[in-house]
């Protein structure tokens, strides 16, 4: 049977000892209540829910899946989901970081991010229902009129109503400029929404009394492309005079997808048949609203990757300590030697350390970015707010992409470490692999993240590289200081080499950019993103080494916690020597090779057409549409 122990010690170490998150309570008046004791209590509450309520439903939910009833266009979630959702809502966790004016608890965002990690690890599918509601809440809170907020927000935060994000259409996925759904103004100030959306997470289910869809659609006078898209709230049931669910709005689920993972999360095709909707924010500014929500939503997807990596790692490490197979190498020729648990084999331990060194490093980076989002939203100093927002914007595509990729790698390696048992459904670990892949696809595929990072965030000549400066200036300072500390001097060398490789790549990309060779940059954008991620995580490991040494120094002799800190020091060494140094060199070579990638070679020569086996698809183009390019 799989296990999940919420990693509270690791989360506390990062938040409290490394990032000093408790200081937010002193710096930000709105977070005065969020002292470390209160935060610790909330983390406990979330972890108990994740371990005791959500996790026991994970395997059964995957097996039972959601079911669709065409007769009434309803969707049934697996057994136990309803009670679990109500319990989560009753604990107030949907509104943990939400505005107290609408029933939220007003706690910092970083707590919500920690909750995302634990809830996704325990039960990814279940986490999607409050997760989508949280996203819709944020969009409404930021952009909707006070009247709309008064109707929708308290009910969403209490868990009575839920939310969705309806962007994708058959012909508009990465390229949302191709959206066709129409919004026609009505005399009563509402709009009639007509169109089809696909892949809508939690578009229909039986957990709440109402579902509030946030829908991207075009007004009649809308300009072409992304500049002509507006945002609307379209409820399943129209709120009556008392704000209770009234008449059925013609916004129907026409079917659900059968998927390789997150099987207990409903993925719906939606048909809006002149459904009543209300404009959220300004006309034609729907994409702007969506992009403003993006740092938050993409960080959440990163946390899904982190949660899955953690649970896959925990199960692999536990299995490796229990599974007895093979003698220790030193006893290979000793006929009397007994077989040992596989964790005693060096290669198994190396795999486990590869996983954990990245999980811990990216956890620190993710929580650092979550705290920056808190600073960006609430700090009294405008310059602190602006810099925090810019920094979070730079790091977010890295977190989304690297963490979702990491979860696939860790979950796949976790299956390998289980041997044949990993391939067997009953063990439960192949679910983490199946579940992990979606995080690399939605909220912008990882290739789209690489484009966003490279072209919008780094090679943004309007920004004059200020954003990059926010990353590089403190990093260079940190590495200088680390060089003179014996505990970090070796790691600092790896960081110095890494910074050089990164700077050379930036210079090469800028030269290519100025020469108009955008394809040459685009072809290597993912390596560039990953290389920056390696550096950013290196910076976090330097901080964690300092915190671990401080922690060790403060412990009484023979204190059991020493093993925790020593493990962090070993993982840090592992990160710098086994992961960062070789990866940076590998990516340096790849980027260098990439500059010559396109050269004079034609597209057909690179990826040949029908004569070499790439056949034309028989399916009609409307099945799952194609956009020519992503419009930022
Ligand atoms: C389970 C699930 C849940 C989802 N939930 C939601 C939801 O709640 N709401 C919602 O609106 N949508 C949702 N989606 C849709 C999801 O966001 C899209 O599938 C995703 O954005 C990719 O779009 P697409 O599928 O059309 O792929 P395409 O855009 O067709 O992309 C196909 C491939 O081409 C690549 N590509 C496309 N454009 C470029 C480019 N310019 N440069 C380089 N490569 C490019 C992509 O990276 C990808 O590899 C969900 C999807 C799934 C499967």
Ligand 1 centre to CA of 442 (Å) is 6
- Using CA positions, which residue lies closest to atom 48 of ligand 1? 445
3-state helix, strand, coil in the chain (%, to 5): 60, 10, 25
In a domain, 38, yes or no: no
Distance CA 370, CA 408 (A): 23
Domain that holds residue 534: 469-555+562-599
- Give the whole-angstrom CA distance, residue 320 versus residue 310: 15
Other Cβ atoms within 10 Å of 468 Cβ, number: 20
pLDDT confidence tier of residue 293, bands split at 50, 70 and 90:
confident
Residue nearest (by alpha carbon) to ligand 1 atom 25: 173
pTM of the model: 0.95
Confidence band for 462, pLDDT divided at 50, 70 and 90? confident
Domain for residue 592, yes or no? yes
Contact of 55 with 122, CB cutoff 8 Å: yes
Length of the chain: 632
Could you tell me if residue 520 is inside a domain? yes
Beta partners for 182?
194, 218
| Within-domain flag for 572 | yes
Query: Model confidence at 613, in pLDDT bands (50, 70, 90)?
Result: low
Closest CA to 28 of 286, 315, 376, 327: 376
448 CB near ligand 1 (under 6 Å): yes
Angle at 174 between CA 286 and CA 232, to 5 degrees: 25
Pocket of ligand 1 contains residue 179 by CB under 6 Å: no
With a cut of 60, say whether residue 630 has pLDDT above it. Answer: no
- Is the CB of 214 within 6 Å of ligand 1? no
Q: How far is the CA of 268 from the centre of ligand 1 (A)?
A: 15
pLDDT of 619 higher than 70: no
Q: Which residues are catalytic?
A: 443
Residue nearest to atom 11 of ligand 1 (CA): 167
Q: What is the pLDDT of residues 37-58, one digit of tens each?
A: 999 999 999 999 999 999 999 9
Dist. CA 371–CA 365, nearest whole Å: 10
Question: Could you give the number of structural domains in the chain?
Answer: 1
Q: Ligand 1: does its nearest atom lie under 6 Å from the Cβ of 165?
A: yes
Do 299 and 373 meet the contact criterion of CB atoms below 8 Å apart?
Answer: yes
Residues 206 and 69: their CA atoms lie apart, in Å, by 12
For residue 479, tell me if it sits in a domain: yes
The DSSP letter of residue 94 is T
Q: How far is the CA of 229 from the centre of ligand 1 (A)?
A: 18
In a domain, 518, yes or no: yes
The mean of the pLDDT values for the chain is 93
pLDDT tens-place string over residues 532-588:
999 999 999 999 999 999 999 999 988 989 999 999 999 999 999 999 999 999 999
Q: Which atom of ligand 1 is nearest to the CA of 167?
A: 11
**Separation of CA 270 and ligand 1 centre (Å):** 17
Q: Is 455 in the pocket of ligand 1 (CB under 6 A)?
A: no
Asked, for residue 626, whether it belongs to a domain, the answer is no
Ligand 1 pocket: which of 445, 447, 521, 603 to mutate (most atoms <8 Å of CB)?
445
Note the pLDDT of residue 460: 78
In-domain check, residue 499? yes
Ligand 1 centroid from CA 379, angstroms: 35
Give strand ranges (E) for 202-324: 210-217, 230-235, 237-239, 245-248, 251-256, 267-280
């Amino acid at each position: 049977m799989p296990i999940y122990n919420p990693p509270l010690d690791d989360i506390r170490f990062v938040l409290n000892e490394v990032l000093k998150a408790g200081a937010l309570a002193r710096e930000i008046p709105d977070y005065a209540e969020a002292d470390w004791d209160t935060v610790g209590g909330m983390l406990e509450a979330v972890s108990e829910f994740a371990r005791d309520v959500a996790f026991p439903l994970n395997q059964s939910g995957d097996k039972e899946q959601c079911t669709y009833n065409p007769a009434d266009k309803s969707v049934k979630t697996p057994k136990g989901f309803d009670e679990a959702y109500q319990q989560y809502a009753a604990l107030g966790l949907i509104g943990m970081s939400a505005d107290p004016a609408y029933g939220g608890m007003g706690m910092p965002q970083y707590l919500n991010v920690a909750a995302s990690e634990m809830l996704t690890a325990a039960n990814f599918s279940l986490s999607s229902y409050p997760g989508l509601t949280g996203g819709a809440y944020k969009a409404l809170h930021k952009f909707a009129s006070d009247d709309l907020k008064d109707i929708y927000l308290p009910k969403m935060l209490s868990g009575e109503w839920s939310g969705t994000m309806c962007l994708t259409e058959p012909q508009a996925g990465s390229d949302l400029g191709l959206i066709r759904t129409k919004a026609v103004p009505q005399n009563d100030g509402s709009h009639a929404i007509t169109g089809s959306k696909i892949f809508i997470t939690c578009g229909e289910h039986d957990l709440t009394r109402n579902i509030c869809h946030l829908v991207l659609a075009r007004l009649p006078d809308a300009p072409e492309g992304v500049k002509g898209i507006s945002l609307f709230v379209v409820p399943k049931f129209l709120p009556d005079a008392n704000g209770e669910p009234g008449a059925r709005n013609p916004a129907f689920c026409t079917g659900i997808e059968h998927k390789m993972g997150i099987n207990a999360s409903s993925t719906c095709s939606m048909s809006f048949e002149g459904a009543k909707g209300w404009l959220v924010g300004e006309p034609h500014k729907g994409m702007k609203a969506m992009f403003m929500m993006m740092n938050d939503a993409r960080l959440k997807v990163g946390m899904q990757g982190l949660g899955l990596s953690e649970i896959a790692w925990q199960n692999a490490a536990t299995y490796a300590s229990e599974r007895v197979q093979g003698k220790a190498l030193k006893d290979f020729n000793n006929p009397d030697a007994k077989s040992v648990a596989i964790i005693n084999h060096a290669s198994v331990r190396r795999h486990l350390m590869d996983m954990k060194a990245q999980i811990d490093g990216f956890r620190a980076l993710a929580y650092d970015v979550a705290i920056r989002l808190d600073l960006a939203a609430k700090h009294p100093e405008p310059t602190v707010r602006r810099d925090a927002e810019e920094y979070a914007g730079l790091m977010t595509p890295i977190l989304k992409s690297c963490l979702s990729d990491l979860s696939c790698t860790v979950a796949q390696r976790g299956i390998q470490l289980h041997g044949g048992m990993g391939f067997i459904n009953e063990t439960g670990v192949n679910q983490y692999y199946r579940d992990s892949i979606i995080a690399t696809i939605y909220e912008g595929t990882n290739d789209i993240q690489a484009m966003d990072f490279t072209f919008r965030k780094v090679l943004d000549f309007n920004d004059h590289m200020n954003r990059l400066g926010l990353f590089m200036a403190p990093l260079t300072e940190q590495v200088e200081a680390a060089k003179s500390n014996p505990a970090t001097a070796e790691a600092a060398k790896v960081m110095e080499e890494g910074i050089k490789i990164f700077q050379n790549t930036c210079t090469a990309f800028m030269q290519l950019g100025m020469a108009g060779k955008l394809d040459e940059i685009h072809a290597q954008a993912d390596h560039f993103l990953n290389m920056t991620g390696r550096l950013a995580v290196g910076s976090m490991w330097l901080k964690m080494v300092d915190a671990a040494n401080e922690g060790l120094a403060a412990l009484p002799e023979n204190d059991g916690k020493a093993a925790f800190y020593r493990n962090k020091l070993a993982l840090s060494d592992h990160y710098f020597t086994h992961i960062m140094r070789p990866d940076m060199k590998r990516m340096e070579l790849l980027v260098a090779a990439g500059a010559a990638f396109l050269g004079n070679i034609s597209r057909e020569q690179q990826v040949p057409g029908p004569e070499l086996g790439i056949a034309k698809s028989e399916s009609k183009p409307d099945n799952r549409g194609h956009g020519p390019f992503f419009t930022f």
